[in-house]
Amino acid sequence: MTLERITPQNVCACLPARYASHRLHGKLLFDIGGQSVLERTCRQVLKCKWISRVYILTDHERVANTMSAAGLGDNVEVILNKIRTRNGTERIGRNLSFIPEQFEIIVNIQGDEPFVDPRNIDYVIQKHVAAHSAGSKEKDDIFFSTLHQRITDLDYLQATSCVKIIVNRRNNAMLFTRNVVPWNKDGIVRPGTKYFSCTGLYVYNRSRVEQYIALEDTQHQLEEDVEQMKVLEHGFVIKTFEAPYYNEISVNTVNDYEMLREKYGFTGDSGRASPVSSLSGTISDALVETEDAPWETAM
């Protein structure tokens, strides 16, 4: 795989959109400046130069109806599938049969990132493809590529909603955790220490998405509810690069939501965006009837 061969026509984005988020129920439909969190995220993704199609993968009619009525254009498709999944990558894997095989690269973008910078998305796609070039010694072990950035807010550093990361000198992830790392024997947060968080951007080769759902769940993945640890615990490589542009936080808590609205000058309440009955998009027939109840873990 080389940059010369891969074109945007081979790259799609998938936005896992589980309605019943464990930490903040219905957050994807919360209003930010007249658009839902999920719609705003999708519109940011559509600005990417390296992505030709966007799939919104949801388990709930309310999300499907709202997004289909948002007028997002022909390059966005909503897939409604009520199958239960533990995390976003698994949701993509369970819907992979509805995504055309021309898409050799799949970008997993968390649906709760309304201010994600499209330049970061394009950057990590190119870094991922370059890492799979003919001269790469570790290309066969790379499972996916992502970005990280420095944490400067001490409150955010200590929040369990923030997944921290340790990176080695080869731009390989060593650890993902909700705990503060690196830690020290004095048990204190040192202002001079460089702390990094991961971003909600994951670039996969299509075959790796299939492989992810076939892998057995692992101890640290389940204990911390951190899907990346499943990959590391099975011995694969996760490439991670420092984000070239600031990557805004995702909406995990009410505090996150209120902070983002205030920071970007939007008003409104924390109610859900109202679904509209007129559907202008496409709802796939990828519907698996299951009990409509929240899963135990976050999206």
Residues 117 and 99: their CA atoms lie apart, in Å, by: 24
Amino acid 45: pLDDT: 98
AA letter at 216: E
With beta carbons less than 8 A apart as the criterion, state whether 58 and 14 touch: no
For 111: left if phi > 0, alpha if psi spans -120 to 50, otherwise beta; the answer is alpha
List the domains of the chain with CATH numbers. 8-263 (3.90.550.10)
Q: What is the mean pLDDT of residues 191-196?
A: 92
pLDDT band at 234 (very low <50, low <70, confident <90, very high): very high
Strand partners, 78: 56, 283
Residues 85 and 6: their CA atoms lie apart, in Å, by: 30
Q: Using CA atoms in the order 148, 12, 47, 74, what is the torsion angle rounded to 10 degrees?
A: -150
State the CB neighbour count (10 A cutoff) for residue 237. 20
pLDDT band at 288 (very low <50, low <70, confident <90, very high): very low
Amino acid 2: pLDDT: 58
With beta carbons less than 8 A apart as the criterion, state whether 217 and 127 touch: no
Amino acid 274: pLDDT: 36
Residues 62 and 273: their CA atoms lie apart, in Å, by: 10
Greater confidence, 77 or 253?
A: 77
Q: pTM of the full predicted structure?
A: 0.86
Question: DSSP assignment of the chain, as one string?
Answer: --TTT--GGGEEEEEEE-SS-SSSTTGGGBEETTEEHHHHHHHHHTT-SS--EEEEEES-HHHHHHHHTS---TTEEEEE-----SSHHHHHHHTGGGS-TT--EEEEE-TT-TT--HHHHHHHHHHHHHHTSTT-SSGGGEEEEEEEEE---HHHHH-TTSPEEEE-TTSBEEEEESS-SS--TT----TTS--EEEEEEEEEEHHHHHHHHHSPP-HHHHHHT-THHHHHHTT-EEEEEE-SS--PPP--SHHHHHHHHHHTT----SSBPPP-S---S-B-S----------SS--
pLDDT surpasses 70 at 293: no
AA letter at 14: C
pLDDT surpasses 80 at 286: no
Amino acid 138: pLDDT: 82
pLDDT tens figures, 137-166: 788 899 999 999 999 988 889 999 899 999
Nearest Cα to 10, choosing from 282, 206, 210, 213? Answer: 206
Contacts of 177 (CB under 8 A, 6+ apart): 163, 164, 165, 220, 224, 226, 229
Residues 123 and 243: their CA atoms lie apart, in Å, by: 8
Per-residue b or e along 134-160, where b marks 16 or more CB atoms closer than 10 Å to that residue's CB: eeeeeeeebbbbbbbbebeeeebbebe
